Each structure stands twice: as structure tokens, then as C-alpha cells.
């Protein structure tokens, strides 16, 4: 050991120079061939991770915006749908009422017309019967009395008579 | 210990090959390892890239713990390389030990104080350099008289003790580990009458101690870079 220390002091300067040179050359070579590419790659990876994280944050914010928008739209759509259904219901009820009213009206008009027709027919029948009875009476009377009576002259009399019968 | 080392004299400078060869091999192994691990890096990392990124995150965590701000980025590659280099030097000598004709050719370079001092000096020179660079020369000098002017001698002394503790802690741990590995090995291989007791005993204890030395080597590499970061942050970061 003493030998070594004395050597270090002056005798073996060569080792010092050699060690220095070896270390410097080693550092340069390691730096050029191993350190630079690998550390560069590590830095690139760090950049990529940072970028990816930023991108993910941005994407999430965008997705949330989109979601809020969609929810708003959905709410609007639901309200719209309710309005449409309500309108349809109101329209339906209105139409129903109209149809029923129209049916009522038609039915009553048909009924009144039928009553009119019936009354007319009854009147016609009565009139026909009255005429025939008048003719028949005249014929019978003329046969009985033997002289021909003028139907026109007796008409008023017979009408009165018939009316009394009808009532 | 009393090992002899092969030496190479080039002009005025002398090289201790038992330090230089393993250091070079450790550097090559570290480079090949990270080179292999860093091939075709992908945004979605696979197995080997995960391992490398884990090591990078680990050393970056050491730097961030002391220098959370931007200043730390300057030191990340340095700490990463230093950690792997020291770690590899600590571990290589544990299981590779080459001795030919009494000359040691291969051991942990960090078991030599010269090498650990070299490493500590790199750390401290860098700390002073970035101290001046980040705070300006005035701010750097002001660091010596904080919190009070009479603290200057203590601060100056601290520079020296930082250097000594940083280097000698690493050296002491690894050197002691190596010595014990060698002693246990010698015990196991002592031969003679007790050989059939000594060999299994030495074998098992050697295994246990080497396992523990792996742990020590890792911890010491971690402590070395952590303390280096602390010293650098004291100088380079203005509070």
C-alpha cells in the first residue's frame, strides 16, 4: 500500500493519464452510441405520454359537452312529443264531437223528413179516400134519388160531412 | 500487498499495466454492454432497453436528488458513465485475477489508490469547473468564505479532505476485499495435512466473501457517484 501511495505521488503518472483518457473516451462513446438514442427515446416517450394525456383530457371535455347537448336535445324532443300527442288528442276529441253532432243532425233531419213524408202520405190517402167516398156517395145518391146530382155542387156538403167523420 | 506489477516506461511516464489493462477492459465491457442494450431503441421498450432505461433512471435519480433543477442535466451522462465504469472495475477484479511469475497482470483497478484518485480528481475538477461556470469566478470564490470569512481555512481543507475521502474510501473497500479474497484463496490452497479440511472451508468462505464483495463493489460504486454528485452540487448549484 505504501508502494501504491508513493507511486501515486509521482512515479506512475502514466496510470493517471491512461485512466483520464480511458474515461473521457468511454464517456464520449457511451454518450454518442447509447445515451443519446435511448435518452432521446425516453424524452420522446415522455412527450407522447404528455400529449396523450392532454388529448384524453380534451376528448373527455368534448364528450361531456356533447353529452350535455344530447341531453338537452332529448329533453326538448320529449317536450315536443308530449305536445304533439296532446294536440292529436285534442284534435281527435274535437273531430269526434263534430262527427257525433253531424250524425245527430242528419238523423234528426231524416226523422223529420220521414215524419213529413208520413204526414203527406196520410193526407194523400185521406184526400183520395174523401174523393172516392164523395164520388161513391154521389153515385149512390143519384141512384137512389134517380136523378143525377152534380158532384161539384155537392162537394162542399160532403167535405163537411167527411170532416165530421174524420174527427 | 507485496505484489510486483508489470510496468511500461514511455519517456518520463511509467504505466502500471496491472491497472491499465483491466481499466481498458472494463471500459470496453461497459461500452459493449450499453452499446448492445441501446440498439434499436423503441417508444415501447423491450427487455434490454428496459434494463438500460432502468440504469439510466437510477443514475439520473442520484443526480436529481442533489440537483433537481436544470443544472443536473449536465452531469447525468457523466454520472451514468462513472457509475458503470467504477462498478465494472470493482467487479471484474473480483473473479478475474491473473498472476504470472509473481507479476500481477489483472486485478481491480480500483484496488489501486492511484486509479481512485484519478477518478476522484475528474469529479472534483469538474465540480470546480462548473462552479466557476455557473456562478462566475466571484461567486465561486465567495463559496470559500461562506457562511463566514474565518471559515475559509476550513473550506480549503475540506476541498482536500473531499478528494481524499472520495478516493480512499473506494480504494480501501476494494483493496481490502481483494486482499481478503487472496488470503482466503491461499488458505484454501495451503495444502499439507490439513488440506482436506482447509480446501472445502476455504472454498465456501471464498464464495461467501465474493458474493459479499459483489455487494460491496456495487454499494461503493453507488456511494462514489452519490458523493461525487453531492460535491459537484455544492459547487455548481447556487442556493
Q: H helices within chain A, ranges in order?
A: 2-6, 13-30, 36-145, 151-166
Residue A146: strand, helix, or coil: coil
Chain A residue closest to B13 (CA)?
A: A14
Q: Which of A126-135, B151-160, B187-196, B228-237 has the lowest mean pLDDT?
A: B187-196
Q: What percent of chain B has pLDDT over 90?
A: 28
Position A1 scores a pLDDT of 43
Cβ-based contacts under 8 A for chains A and B:
123
- Give mean pLDDT, residues A95-103: 95
The pLDDT value given to residue B83:
94
Which among B76, B78, B114 is the nearest to A8, CB-wise? Answer: B114
Q: Which of B15, B81, B109 sits opposite A30 (nearest CB)?
A: B81
Q: Is B77's CB within 8 Å of A30's CB?
A: yes
B53: chain A residues, CB-CB within 8 Å = 38, 42
**A36 close to B41: Cβ distance less than 8 angstroms:** no
CA distance from start to end of chain B: 45
Q: Report percent pLDDT > 90 for chain A.
A: 51
What local confidence, expressed as pLDDT, does residue A151 receive?
A: 67
Partner B contacted by A1 (CB < 8 A): yes
Pairwise pLDDT comparison (A96 vs B99), residue with the higher score: A96
The residue in chain A having the minimum alpha-carbon distance to the alpha carbon of residue B34 is: A34
Q: Do A5 and B16 touch (CB under 8 A)?
A: no
Reported confidence tier of residue A102, pLDDT bands at 50, 70, 90: very high
Q: Are B234 and B127 in contact (CB under 8 A)?
A: yes
The pLDDT, as a whole number, for residue A8 is 45
- Asked if the Cβ–Cβ distance from B24 to A48 is below 8 Å, we say no
Every domain of chain B and the residues it spans: 7-236
Q: How far is A12 from chain B (nearest CA, A)?
A: 5
- Which grid coordinates belong to B60? 439520473
Output the pLDDT for position A93: 95
**Cα of B208 vs its chain's centroid, Å:** 22
Contact B182, B1 (CB under 8 A): yes
Rounded CA separation A40/A47 (Å): 10
State the average pLDDT for chain B: 86
Domain count, chain A: 1
Q: Closest Cα to residue B65, out of B200, B176, B228?
A: B228
Look up the pTM and report it: 0.72
What was the pLDDT predicted at B239? 60
- Which residues are CB-neighbours of B170 under 8 A, at least 6 positions away? B86, B110, B116, B119, B120, B220, B223, B224
Residue from B12, B30, B34 whose CB has the most chain A CBs within 10 Å, to mutate:
B34
Q: How many CB atoms lie within 10 A of CB B173?
A: 21
Q: What's the domain range around A147?
A: 2-166
pLDDT of residue A139 exceeding 70: yes
pLDDT of residue B96: 80
B114 to chain A: closest CA residue: A8
pLDDT of A39 above 50: yes
CA-nearest residue of chain A to B76? A35
Q: State residue A6's pLDDT score.
A: 45
> How does pLDDT run across B14-45, given as a tens digit for each residue?
788 888 888 899 999 999 998 998 888 888 88
Inter-chain contact A23–B122, Cβ cutoff 8 Å?
A: yes
Output the pLDDT for position A146: 64
Instruction: For residue A45, list chain B residues with Cβ-Cβ distance below 8 A.
Output: 43
What pLDDT score was predicted for residue A150?
66
A22 contacts on B by Cβ (under 8 Å): 23-24, 27
Residue B160 burial (CB count, 10 A): 10
Distance between CA atoms of B231 and B119, rounded to whole angstroms? 13
Q: Which residue(s) pair with B8 in the sheet? A: B15
**Nine-digit cell at A95?**
273531430
Chain A residues within 8 A of B12 when measuring between CB atoms:
13
For residues A35 and B80, the answer to whether their CB atoms sit within 8 Å is: yes
pLDDT of res. A147: 59
Give the per-residue pLDDT at A9. Answer: 45
Assign A94 a pLDDT band (cuts: 50, 70, 90): very high
Weakest-pLDDT range from A35-39, A72-76, A136-140, B126-130: A136-140
Bridge partner list, B15: B8
pLDDT at B187 over 50: yes
| Interface predicted TM-score of the whole assembly (ipTM), two decimals | 0.85
Amino acid at each position: 500500500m505504501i508502494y501504491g501511495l508513493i507511486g501515486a505521488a509521482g512515479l506512475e503518472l502514466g496510470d493517471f493519464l491512461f485512466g483520464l483518457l480511458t474515461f473521457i473516451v468511454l464517456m464520449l462513446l457511451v454518450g454518442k452510441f447509447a445515451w443519446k438514442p435511448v435518452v432521446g427515446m425516453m424524452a420522446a416517450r415522455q412527450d407522447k405520454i404528455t400529449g396523450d394525456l392532454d388529448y384524453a383530457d380534451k376528448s373527455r371535455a368534448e364528450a361531456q359537452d356533447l353529452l350535455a347537448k344530447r341531453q338537452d336535445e332529448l329533453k326538448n324532443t320529449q317536450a315536443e312529443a308530449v305536445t304533439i300527442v296532446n294536440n292529436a288528442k285534442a284534435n281527435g276529441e274535437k273531430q269526434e264531437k263534430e262527427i257525433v253532432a253531424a250524425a245527430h243532425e242528419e238523423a234528426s233531419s231524416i226523422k223529420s223528413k220521414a215524419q213529413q213524408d208520413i204526414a203527406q202520405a196520410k193526407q194523400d190517402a185521406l184526400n183520395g179516400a174523401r174523393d172516392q167516398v164523395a164520388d161513391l156517395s154521389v153515385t149512390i145518391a143519384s141512384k137512389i134519388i134517380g136523378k143525377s146530382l152534380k158532384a161539384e155542387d155537392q162537394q162542399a156538403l160532403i167535405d163537411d160531412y167527411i170532416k165530421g167523420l174524420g174527427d | 500487498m507485496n505484489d510486483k506489477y508489470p510496468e511500461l516506461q514511455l519517456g518520463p511516464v511509467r504505466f502500471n499495466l496491472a491497472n491499465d489493462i483491466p481499466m481498458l477492459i472494463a471500459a470496453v465491457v461497459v461500452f459493449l454492454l450499453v452499446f448492445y442494450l441501446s440498439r434499436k431503441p423503441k417508444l415501447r421498450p423491450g427487455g434490454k432497453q428496459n434494463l438500460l432505461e432502468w440504469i439510466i433512471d437510477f443514475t439520473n435519480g442520484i443526480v436529481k436528488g442533489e440537483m433537481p433543477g436544470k443544472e443536473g442535466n449536465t452531469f447525468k451522462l457523466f454520472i451514468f458513465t462513472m457509475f458503470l465504469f467504477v462498478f465494472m472495475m470493482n467487479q471484474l477484479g473480483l473473479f478475474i485475477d491473473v498472476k504470472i511469475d509473481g507479476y500481477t497482470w489483472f486485478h481491480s483497478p480500483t484496488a489501486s489508490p492511484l486509479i481512485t484518485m484519478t477518478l476522484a480528481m475528474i469529479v472534483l475538477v469538474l465540480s470546480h469547473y462548473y462552479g466557476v461556470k455557473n456562478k462566475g469566478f466571484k461567486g465561486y470564490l465567495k463559496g470559500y468564505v461562506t457562511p463566514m470569512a474565518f471559515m475559509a481555512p476550513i473550506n480549503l481543507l475540506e476541498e482536500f479532505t473531499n478528494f481524499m475521502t472520495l478516493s480512499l474510501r473506494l480504494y480501501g473497500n476494494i483493496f481490502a476485499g481483494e486482499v481478503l479474497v487472496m488470503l482466503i484463496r491461499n488458505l484454501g490452497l495451503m495444502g499439507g495435512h490439513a488440506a482436506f479440511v482447509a480446501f472445502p472451508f476455504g472454498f465456501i468462505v471464498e464464495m461467501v466473501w465474493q458474493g459479499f464483495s459483489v455487494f460491496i463493489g456495487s454499494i461503493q460504486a453507488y456511494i462514489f457517484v452519490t458523493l461525487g454528485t453531492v460535491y459537484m452540487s455544492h459547487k455548481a448549484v447556487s442556493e
